[in-house]
């Protein structure tokens, strides 16, 4: 286990809610979307060996998030048996190709595809974890990929590029098939008492621009996100967007049209989090943002310096929670991650 202790920590989801409502939290507050299993294992006291408890892996996750000092635990769709779109074989190394694994390329494969049923998923954990969640802690949950991500996985990026221009009806049918199922997922999970907020994770940008022109996104992708945000809000919960890449061209859509409460995922080479706070901080909460390359390659001291500046901003102006620009994959050195989260102890 990592020898780390956050000072005087008792989870209180209200802290994060204040940030999402662009207010100043009562104390330094952290945000992270996902952490690698090595870090989770080191932060948690629990071992998974020889257990028959089907919730054991989630309890371990809750332990890890609590020990690291988060007011919530994220439970991402890929950890659950709720809703997943069966994919073809996708070769994976450090990255994978957006063209790989496609299994819907024409009308025949569209009709032959086994579309999953969101309502037949296993949502047991959202009810049963109520007895295990520490007082004050909530779950922030997300689906197994977003609307565009799932369509790209099913069709392939280059195939989808051509399809949007050459077969309007098939493109519409595929987006509707994916979007309606993801909407149903959020309609089911958002009302659970254990759930404090929902993350909608859908990457829309490359380094220089959005993956598709904004008009395409507005036609096929964003309407589903708008419905998902409405469903989350109807359940009285907050909706957080995790979307990587250059999305400046559609930030007004994200804030004004879709109505997301918070935006997560920032990169220094695209829009550094400090710049994002200046550009949009008065209209949407900004979460995380310590660039992945920065977190991977800078020294713990440099990471703590930048983290401290961001936390000082948080405690002065609100609307911001400290965390990585994306997640904590296994290539982030543990000492660098700890340097970031332990900065909260300097400001207590």
Q: Residues interacting with other proteins, by CB under 8 A?
A: 91-100, 157-158, 161-162, 164-166, 168, 206-213, 216, 249, 267, 269, 292-293, 296-297, 331
Place of tokens 């061209």: 249
246, 208 contact by CB (below 8 A)? yes
DSSP 8-state class, residue 134? P
Closer residue to other proteins in complex, CB, 269/299: 269
What are the helix and strand counts (H, E) for the chain?
15, 7
Instruction: Please report how close the Cβ of residue 71 comes to other proteins at its closest, in angstroms.
Output: 29
Cα diameter, the chain = 61
CB contact burial 129-151 (16+ within 10 A = b; e otherwise): beeebeeebbbbbbbbbbbbbbb
- In the complex, minimum distance from the CB of residue 118 to other proteins, in angstroms, rounded to a whole number: 29
Is the separation of the CB atoms in 6 and 68 below 8 Å? Answer: yes
Q: Closest Cα to residue 150, out of 107, 186, 220, 202?
A: 202
Quote the radius of gyration of the chain (alpha carbons, Å). 20
Q: Which is nearer to other proteins, 255 or 296 (CB)?
A: 296
Task: Decide whether 140 or 332 has the Cβ nearer to other proteins.
Answer: 332
Cβ of residue 156: shortest distance to other proteins, in angstroms? 10
- C-beta of residue 149 within 8 angstroms of C-beta of residue 202: yes
Q: Shortest approach of other proteins to residue 282 CB, angstroms? A: 25
Bridge partner residues of 285 (DSSP): 262
Query: Judged by CB, which is closer to other proteins: 12, or 153?
Result: 153
Minimum CB separation of residue 145 from other proteins in Å reads: 17
The token duo for 10 is: 């008792």
d(C-alpha 290, C-alpha 201), whole Å: 18
Backbone angles phi, psi at 210, to 5 degrees: -65, 155
CB of 247 to other proteins, least distance (A): 13
Q: Which residue's CB is nearer to other proteins, number 100 or number 230?
A: 100
1/165 with CB nearer other proteins: 165
Which residue in the block uniquely carries the two structure tokens 């819907």? 104
We find the least distance from the C-beta atom of residue 98 to other proteins, in angstroms, to be 6
Question: Residue 94, SS3?
Answer: coil
């Amino acid at each position: 286990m990592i020898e780390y202790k956050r000072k005087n920590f008792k989870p209180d989801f209200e802290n994060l809610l204040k940030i999402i409502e662009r207010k100043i939290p009562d104390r330094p507050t952290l945000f992270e979307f996902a952490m690698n299993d090595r870090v989770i294992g080191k932060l948690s006291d629990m071992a998974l060996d020889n257990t028959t408890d089907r919730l054991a892996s989630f309890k371990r996750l809750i332990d890890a998030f609590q020990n690291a000092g988060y007011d919530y635990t994220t439970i991402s769709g890929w950890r659950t048996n709720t809703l997943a779109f069966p994919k073809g074989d996708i070769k994976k190394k450090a990255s994978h190709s957006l063209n790989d694994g496609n299994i819907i390329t024409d009308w025949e494969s569209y009709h032959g595809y086994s579309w999953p049923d969101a309502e037949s998923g296993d949502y047991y954990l959202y009810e049963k974890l109520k007895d295990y969640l520490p007082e004050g802690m909530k779950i922030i949950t997300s689906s197994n990929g977003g609307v565009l991500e799932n369509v790209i996985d099913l069709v392939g990026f280059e195939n989808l590029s051509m399809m949007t221009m050459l077969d309007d009806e098939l493109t519409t049918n595929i987006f509707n098939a994916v979007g309606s199922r993801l909407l149903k997922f959020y309609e089911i999970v958002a009302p659970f008492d254990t759930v404090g907020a929902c993350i909608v994770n859908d990457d829309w940008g490359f380094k220089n621009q959005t993956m598709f022109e904004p008009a395409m996104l507005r036609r096929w992708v964003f309407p589903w996100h708008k419905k998902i945000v409405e469903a989350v809000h109807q359940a009285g919960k907050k909706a957080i967007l995790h979307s990587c890449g250059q999305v400046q061209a559609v930030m007004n859509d994200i804030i004004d049209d879709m109505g997301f409460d918070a935006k997560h995922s920032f990169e220094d080479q695209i829009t550094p989090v400090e710049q994002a706070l200046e550009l949009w901080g008065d209209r949407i909460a900004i979460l995380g943002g310590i660039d992945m390359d920065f977190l991977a390659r800078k020294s713990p001291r440099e990471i703590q310096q930048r983290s401290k500046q961001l936390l000082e901003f948080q405690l002065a102006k609100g609307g911001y929670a400290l965390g990585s620009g994306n997640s904590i994959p296994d290539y982030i050195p543990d000492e660098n991650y700890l340097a970031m989260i332990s900065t909260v102890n300097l400001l207590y």
